[in-house]
Structure 1
Amino acid sequence: MQVYVCVKHVPDSAAHITILDKSRIDGNISFLLNPYDEQAVTEAVKIKNNQPGSEVIVVCLGDKDAEKTVRSALAMGADRGILITGDTYYDSIVTARALKTAIEQDGTPGLIFTGKESIDAEGMQTMFRIGALFDFPVATNVVKLNIEEDKAVVDSELSGGAANTYEMSLPCVIGAGRGLNTPRYPTFPDVVKSKKKPIKKIAFTDLNIESSLTGMHIVELEPLKQARNPKQIKGEKGVVAKEILRILRQEAKVI
Structure 2
Amino acid sequence: MQIYICVKHVPDSAAHITILDKNRIDENISFLLNPYDEHAVTEAVKIKNNHPGAEVIAVCLGKNDAEKTIRSAMAMGADRGVLITSDKIHDSIVTALALKTAIEQDGTPGLIFTGKESIDAEGMQTLFRIGALFGFPVATNVINLDIEQDKAIVDCELSGGIANTYEMSLPCIIGAGRGLNTPRYPTFPDVVKSKKKPVKKIAFADLNIKVPLTGMSIVELEPLKQSREPKEIKGDSDIVAKEIVRILKQEAKVI
TM-score range, shorter chain: over 0.9
CA distance in 2, matches of 1:187, 1:250: 48
Q: What is aligned with 2:159?
A: 159
CA pair 77-253 structure 1, distance change in 2 beyond 3 A: farther
Q: What is aligned with 1:4?
A: 4
- What's the TM-score, normalizing by structure 1? 0.94
Amino acid at match of 2:131: G
1:227-248 per-residue CA deviation (whole Å, 9 max, x = no partner) reads 2112235567898788768766
CA distance in 2, matches of 1:239, 1:35: 42
Q: How far 1:37 moved relative to its partner?
A: 0.4
Q: What is aligned with 2:101?
A: 101
CA distance in 2, matches of 1:140, 1:124: 9
Q: What is aligned with 2:31?
A: 31
Q: What is aligned with 1:69?
A: 69
CA distance in 2, matches of 1:239, 1:72: 53
**Unaligned residue ranges in structure 2 (runs of 5+):** none
Q: How far 1:213 moved relative to its partner?
A: 2.2
Amino acid at match of 1:134: F
1:39-78 matched pairs, under 5 angstroms: 39-78=39-78
Q: What is aligned with 1:187?
A: 187
Measured on the aligned residues, the alpha-carbon RMSD in Å equals 1.9
Q: How far 1:223 moved relative to its partner?
A: 1.0
Q: What is aligned with 1:19?
A: 19
Amino acid at match of 2:33: L
The alignment partner of 1:10 has SS state of strand
Q: What is aligned with 1:145?
A: 145
CA pair 247-196 structure 1, distance change in 2 beyond 3 A: farther
Q: How far 1:224 moved relative to its partner?
A: 1.2
CA distance in 1, matches of 2:204, 2:210: 12
The alignment partner of 2:105 has SS state of helix
Does 1:228 pair with 2:228? yes
Q: How far 1:113 moved relative to its partner?
A: 0.2
CA distance in 2, matches of 1:249, 1:180: 29
Q: What is aligned with 2:174?
A: 174
CA distance in 2, matches of 1:254, 1:45: 36
CA pair 220-5 structure 1, distance change in 2 beyond 3 A: same
1:39-97 per-residue CA deviation (whole Å, 9 max, x = no partner) reads 00000000000111000000000011111111110000000000111011100000000
CA distance in 2, matches of 1:163, 1:44: 21
CA pair 41-237 structure 1, distance change in 2 beyond 3 A: same
Q: How far 1:249 moved relative to its partner?
A: 7.2
Deviant stretches of 4+, over 4 Å: 233-255
**Unaligned residue ranges in structure 1 (runs of 5+):** none
CA distance in 2, matches of 1:67, 1:212: 27
CA pair 254-79 structure 1, distance change in 2 beyond 3 A: farther
The alignment partner of 2:39 has SS state of helix
Q: What is aligned with 2:121?
A: 121
The alignment partner of 2:28 has SS state of coil
CA distance in 2, matches of 1:2, 1:157: 26
Q: What is aligned with 1:92?
A: 92
Q: How far 1:222 moved relative to its partner?
A: 1.1
